[in-house]
Every structure is written in C-alpha cells, then in structure tokens.
C-alpha cells in the first residue's frame, strides 16, 4: 500500500471573520499522521520567490479528525457548527508544526503574532485535492 511518511503532527487554525462584530475567531484542529515537507530556501533561484521557505502538507483524507467542507460551505456554517468541520482556506488559515491546540491567540493579528513567536508556522497558500488511489489533500504554505 502506497502512503506518505505520515509521522508528523500539525495544528490547523481555520479563520472565521464576523463582519458585524469585526471579530476574528480561529478554530484549531489537530492533524496527526500527516507529512510535512519543508523546502527552506532551496528554491529561491528556481521560483523567484522573495521568501523561499515553503512547505507542502500532505493530509490523508482517511486520517482527518473532522469531516472536510470546501471553504465557501464552511463559511456558511454557524459559529457553533464550525468547530465540527475542517477546511483549508488560502490566505486565511494557517498551520503550525506540532500540537498547539491549547494556544491562546490574540484577538487581532493572530497570524502575525504566531509568526513572530513560533517556528514552523505557515499560511495556507494553495490546496489540491486528490481522489485517486490514496485520497488526500496537498496544502501549500509559506
């Protein structure tokens, strides 16, 4: 059976923004048995990116702790329902290597705060879903 080197743990934070209250809330989900491939600085010349610290997160659909919903469907859920599902929203969600489910985030600027205070924190940039022999997500992050 084909598989990933799925021995890593990351904590995903799904961002929810309430326009009426102007409050952002992050819902953490522990993703265990994932593969996190880091390419620190290796592709500056190839990609031309300013910051070449990038990662690819491989998540086996069968090992996800919560059911997945596409970003637009997830946003339509009530604040009460959102913690029961997982999504991957580019430019809004982020993940940190390790178990950080008990992390208390500031009310504003959470991503920037985490990037300033923790190593191995990545903003979701891309998402690809594969439904082949090994159904999985590949999430790009920087």
pLDDT (tens digit per residue) in 99-131: 999 999 998 899 999 999 999 999 999 999 999
pLDDT for res 7: 87
| Number of domains within the chain | 1
Task: For residue 16, name the pLDDT band (cuts at 50, 70, 90).
Answer: very high
**2 belongs to a structural domain:** no
**15 belongs to a structural domain:** yes
State the Cα–Cα distance between residues 7 and 133, nearest whole angstrom.
20
Average pLDDT, integer, range 18-26: 89
**3 belongs to a structural domain:** no
Dihedral sign, Cα of residue 3, residue 92, residue 111, residue 81: negative
**37 belongs to a structural domain:** yes
| Residue 117 domain boundaries | 8-141
Where is pLDDT greater, at 51 or 125?
Answer: 125
Residue 47 has pLDDT above 80, yes or no: no
Contact 124, 141 (CB under 8 A): yes
State the Cα–Cα distance between residues 87 and 93, nearest whole angstrom.
9
**1 belongs to a structural domain:** no
Average pLDDT, integer, range 24-36: 95
pLDDT for res 41: 63
pLDDT for res 95: 97
Residue 77 has pLDDT above 80, yes or no: yes
Predicted model pTM: 0.86
């Amino acid at each position: 059976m084909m598989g990933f080197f799925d021995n890593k743990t990351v904590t995903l934070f799904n961002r929810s923004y309430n326009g009426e209250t102007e409050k952002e809330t992050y819902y953490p989900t522990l993703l265990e048995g994932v593969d996190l491939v880091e390419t620190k600085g290796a592709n500056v010349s190839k990609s031309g990116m300013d910051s070449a610290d990038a990662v690819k997160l491989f998540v086996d659909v069968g090992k996800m702790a919560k059911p997945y919903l596409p970003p637009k469907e997830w946003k339509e859920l009530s604040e009460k329902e959102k913690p029961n599902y997982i999504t991957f929203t580019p430019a809004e969600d982020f993940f940190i290597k390790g178990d950080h489910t008990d992390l208390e985030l500031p009310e504003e600027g959470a991503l920037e705060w985490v990037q300033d205070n923790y190593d191995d924190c990545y903003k979701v940039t891309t998402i690809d879903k594969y439904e082949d022999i090994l159904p999985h997500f590949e999430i790009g992050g920087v």
